[in-house]
Amino acid sequence: MRALAITILAVSLSALTMAQAPANPQGKKGGGGGRGNALSDKRPDLPANLFTSSSTVARSTMRHEWADIPMGKVKLHTWIEYPEGDGKAPVVLVMHHGPGLDDLERSVADQLATEGFIAVAPDLLSGFGPKGANYESFAFPDDAIRASVKVTADEALRRYKAARDYALKLPRANGKSASIGFDTGGTYSFRFAAEVPGLNAAVVFYGMPPEQSMLAEIHAPVLGLYGGDDDRVDSTIEPTQAAMKKLGKMYEAHVYPHATHFFMVYAVEGENGAAVAQAWPTTIAFLKQNMALQ
């Protein structure tokens, strides 16, 4: 419980800082990963960070839309971005962190679309907002944090499965799919690989593995990306590697020295920028390899 409380506190602080973060009025390129002014610059080959996500989403030229996916009495509010052109493309399901489907998570979807994927980012808080509304209805980030506690893991996975089913029926979907998640979303991405046999790949950014009894159900290759200064999560890596190896499963883990939990968010802290600059190209190469995207 204490670890959970610390995690929620960290996520809450992340969300509050995010709400106060300056936009990037210059729309500058470059920076990040140790080059340029990471507070206001965004490298075109990397996702936006804490300080550049809002301007990235606002200025995106990628085709995007909201879809409301029927799920009984609730409609799953889902952000979808498409790559350029009109050709078929694989689907990547974006599993958001604790604060919800904020600009930071939508900017990840934007980056995935620029790399040639159909990015599908469901709002797990759909229907959990005031008067049954969605994430954007919360007045403060902490309100969204408290509401997220009501979304059980089983319900979250049910919603992600519905989003994947919907996405695979999109006219441009080529039948291949993967998941990518961050923190809580990373934990869901790992478990999703165990619950969805048809998944082609799963990417886990500083998330926890499922129970070892579930590892045998995983068929997709899993990529894990972790900060070296994240003892709670890092302590799970070696046991998971051993279990996955014994089961004949593919689990590739990268630990970036002196990077923290949430290193994709706080790219200007310590060695986090260097971690992002290595982790994201590794992610894209992994997704393209496992979904045959050239």
Looking at residue 39, its pLDDT comes to 54
Share of the chain above pLDDT 70, in %: 86
Please write the tens of the pLDDT for every residue from 82-136. 999 999 999 999 999 988 999 999 999 999 999 999 999 999 999 888 888 888 8
Looking at residue 31, its pLDDT comes to 34
Between these two residues, 250 and 16, which has the higher pLDDT value?
250
Looking at residue 147, its pLDDT comes to 87
Per-residue pLDDT band at 202 (split at 50, 70, 90): very high
Please write the tens of the pLDDT for every residue from 18-62. 333 333 333 333 333 444 455 567 999 999 998 999 999 999 999
Q: How crowded is residue 199: how many other Cβ atoms within 10 Å of its Cβ?
A: 23
Q: What is the pTM of this model?
A: 0.87
Residues 6+ away with beta carbon under 8 Å from 266: 14, 49, 50, 260, 272
Domains and CATH numbers, the chain: 2-18+41-290 (3.40.50.1820)
Instruction: Check whether 190 has a pLDDT greater than 90.
Output: yes
Please write the tens of the pLDDT for every residue from 217-240. 999 999 999 999 999 999 999 999
